[in-house]
Amino acid sequence: MVKRALLLSVAAAAASCVRVSEGRAERDRAVGAAEIDGLSIVVDDGLAAVRALQPARVDLWGNAPALSLRLVLDAARDVELRVDNAMADARAFVGARVIDSTAPGTRRAFVIPADAFAPSEGRFAARVLVRPPDADEPRRFRFAMYADVQEAIDRVQDVYARMNAEEGVSFALMAGDQTTHGGPDELEVFQREMATLRFPVFATLGNHELGKPEVPYHDWFGRGSSSFELHGARFTLLDSASATIDAIVYDWLDDWLARGRGRVHVVAMHIPPIDPIGVRSGSFASRNEANKLLARLAEGRVDLTLYGHVHSYYAFENAGIPAYIAGGGGAIPERFDNVGRHFLVIDVDPVAQTHATRLVRVD
């Protein structure tokens, strides 16, 4: 959690109408699109970061269970598509063609053959879907949620072992503060430690990822604000790392809320709009903005809100929406709360439009 002085500076910036997170929202726009001579890629909705491009190979870091992307080549040829942090049962679909992964687990690899690319305006293009075969099927499923690893970045394996022991978890949401300072070295350690999980982790960033002026987070893990669907439920991740939501993101949010209407809709972010205790710097810099955001979520019929930032566990309501803070990923805990490290396991039934949340203690 940030120091009080830092939060006061954020509040002062907000009061003076400085959009402290505008630059990150603009970077969100650019995630998922890249080009080199002879090859270009656009991932719909920026739901994957482009890690590397070669004339016959594309490396992505996925931040959603289902990806849709367009590859364009100067000449038809085989292209290897590698998707790290993918669903463990994901396949690639090109039209009616189904392509199995040549790699196991969450590091998927697919060879998109030359004849899958169709002539298009003097080039060759293919629309590729990377997703579980039943991604659109409304059915019950389970996910985990955690936040605030920070200085425990290289001591998190027992948390991950406990997550792996939970039956039926499809993926985890990570609500920020993966690191202490957000530098490339720490982001690399976080990625390396995640490799032991048997499912992917879809994340947003926290205030501790803002410790470097260039904020390299987007190059590693993609957008801070994004939205996706799985099995008929919608999930939205918002970048609240500066104790505010940028105006650009509010525009996206209106669309995501419309898409989620009539479905189970889960919204996660790092800093909660309102601190349920209210005696520390654990909420948005502006109470007016907090009320504005929660009013939108309530009007949009959001079913569940998930937060980090506060290094403890709280179950409460905001604007009538069930809310949970689960900041037990390993960062220095709140004193005397007797909670210890923890995460949430959440069961979703999109057909019945219900959800159930369970606290799992690690310590």
| 79, 98, 131 - which closes a domain | 131
Looking at the structure, tell me whether residues 272 and 205 fall in a common domain: yes
| CATH number of residue 180's parent domain | 3.60.21.10
| Pair (168, 44) in one structural domain | no
Q: Are 82 and 69 contacting, i.e. CB atoms less than 8 angstroms apart?
A: no
Same domain, 95 and 214: no
For position 17, what pLDDT does the model report? Answer: 58
Buried b (16+ CB within 10 A) or exposed e, 212-235: eeebbbbbbbbbbbbbbbbbbbbb
Strand partners, 344: 145, 359
Q: Does 170 lie in the same domain as 289? A: yes
Contact by Cβ (8 Å): 56, 78: yes
- The predicted pLDDT at position 26 comes to 97
Q: In one letter, which amino acid is 228?
A: F
pLDDT of residue 301: 98
Q: What's residue 18's pLDDT? A: 78
Residues 78 and 204 in one domain: no
Write down the residue that tokens 């209106």 correspond to.
254
**Segments forming the whole domain that contains residue 127:** 31-62+67-131
pLDDT of residue 16: 43
Same domain, 168 and 192: yes
Residues 71 and 139 in one domain: no
Same domain, yes or no, for 185 and 261?
Answer: yes
- The total number of structural domains that make up the chain: 2
Among the three residues 84, 102, 131, which one is the final residue of a domain in this structure? 131
* 161, 56: one domain: no
3-state SS string for 45-60? HHCEEEEEEECCEEEE
Local confidence pLDDT in tens for the 363 residues of the chain = 444 334 434 444 444 457 999 999 999 999 999 999 999 999 999 999 999 999 999 999 999 999 999 999 999 999 999 999 999 999 999 999 999 999 999 999 999 999 999 999 999 999 999 999 999 999 999 999 999 999 999 999 999 999 999 999 999 999 999 999 999 999 999 999 999 999 999 999 999 999 988 899 999 999 999 999 999 999 999 999 999 999 999 999 999 999 999 999 999 999 999 999 987 779 999 999 999 999 999 999 999 999 999 999 999 999 999 999 999 999 999 888 889 999 999 999 999 999 999 999 999
The pLDDT of residue 24 is 97
